[in-house]
Structure 1
Amino acid sequence: MSISPAKENILKKIREALSHPTAIPFPASEGNASVYKAPQQENEIEFAEQFSKLQGRFVYCINQQELAFQLSSLIQKQDWQKVYCVEPALQQQLSAAVADRLVETGLKDSDVAITGCEFLVARTGSIVLSAGQQSGRNTSVYAPIHICIAYTHQLVTDVKDALTLIKDKYQDKLPSLITFATGPSRTADIEKTLVVGVHGPREVYVFLVDA
């Protein structure tokens, strides 16, 4: 198939441009440094403040025993009957606290879903989740209430830190989905009125365990 003179002229210019690349005029502007100021407080406090501003509910636990107590108290107070969790490690930790209400099936009928996370981002108050977790894609968004159990060693300062660590963790087998959940689901598409819980959980809890 013949190429028109106009198209050939364009391709010729592209080849010439590629053979003589132009140096970046302002290399300093391609900075690798963060555009955000480093937080002036510990990541635990920064995350708690940002997450709470987003209508998230934050609970700090000094150890596993306090986690079990706080979680059991919350479930009894809210009278949640079906607590969905499919992560074996979490099931083992929570069995004493919610053994009679813990279920592995029937996500659509559950009152609350419990998952772990990949990381927590302090600057934005975000929970980093991925399809590589045993809870998969649906658990954190399908139930009306999502409880995330995280540990202090999972806290990072910024989004780029979380992405770097996920890349290191999974190497060349990155999960098919990486989600940054920043507070409960919200939308203002309906007559510009903010509505919570339309496209996901209406309440999000983070239990942060010191570890």
Structure 2
Amino acid sequence: MANSTAKKNILNKIKQALDTPVPLPFELNNEAVNVFQPAKEELEIIFAEAFTKLQGKFIFCADENELHAQLQLLISSKEWMKIFCNEDQWNVLYSNTLNLESCDAAITGCEYLVARTGTIVMSAAQQSGRTVSVYAPIHICIAFTNQLVYDIKDALQFFKEKYIAIPSLITFASGPSRTADIEKTLVTGVHGPKEVYLFLVDKTA
């Protein structure tokens, strides 16, 4: 009987609270207001600074001819013999292995670049799929300046406009993988690529 009375009292209090809710101590959020200040520099510069702070390797190319020259120079200088790429735009030029598990480096494109955080945004809708960018020991991403956005919310908005159905996986990669789980010592390449190269090709013309 006592338990029944206590339960009834609690339910009555809940009902009273719902009937007379306490006003919020702050106004409703205005989605149009940006949390972060708008970009004051060119997005290329903002991205390059953020990306390199996260130990990413950034290479700017004036056009696709310079891209090919710089990328071939990198591959040659590092003596990478097995390059994996399954994206139509690049595989004819660079791919020479079908074995992702034993490759030296892998090349992918991306969906967008988030300038504020230095983040490469990829998705399962790309030809590279889910695994290429995280499985290879070296990840080389080729992007264009027209893929730059300022903030993550901008990238997500473009996803909504680009796809009828949002891809099953969206990946946000900010530099090489790293962890400090082991004795609080920062180690790179534990859960993904140990090096990430971003070739940004100017496409303003």
> Which bin holds the TM-score, normalised by the shorter protein?
0.7 to 0.9
Structure 1 residue runs of 4 or more that deviate by more than 4 Å after TM superposition: 11-16, 19-25
Task: Tell me the equivalent position of 1:31.
Answer: 30
Q: Percent identity?
A: 55
Task: Tell me the equivalent position of 2:142.
Answer: 149
Task: Tell me the equivalent position of 1:51.
Answer: 51
Unpaired runs of 5+ in structure 1? none
Cα distance in 2 between the residues matched to 1:182 and 1:10: 49
User: Which amino acid in 1 is paired with 2:96?
Assistant: L
Task: Tell me the equivalent position of 2:109.
Answer: 116
RMSD of aligned alpha carbons? 2.2
Cα distance in 1 between the residues matched to 2:140 and 2:8: 58
1:27, CA displacement in angstroms? 2.2
Cα distance in 2 between the residues matched to 1:14 and 1:107: 60
Cα distance in 2 between the residues matched to 1:59 and 1:38: 25
Task: Tell me the equivalent position of 1:132.
Answer: 125
1:160, CA displacement in angstroms? 0.5
1:1-211 pair list within 5 angstroms: 6=7, 10=11, 13=14, 17=18, 24-27=24-27, 30-32=29-31, 33-92=33-92, 95=93, 98=94, 102-103=96-97, 105-171=98-164, 173-211=165-203
Cα distance in 2 between the residues matched to 1:14 and 1:178: 42
User: Which amino acid in 1 is paired with 2:158?
Assistant: L
Give the TM-score taking structure 2 as reference length: 0.88
1:177, CA displacement in angstroms? 1.0
Give the TM-score taking structure 1 as reference length: 0.85
1:90, CA displacement in angstroms? 2.1
Aligned length: 198
User: Which amino acid in 2 is paired with 1:180?
Assistant: F
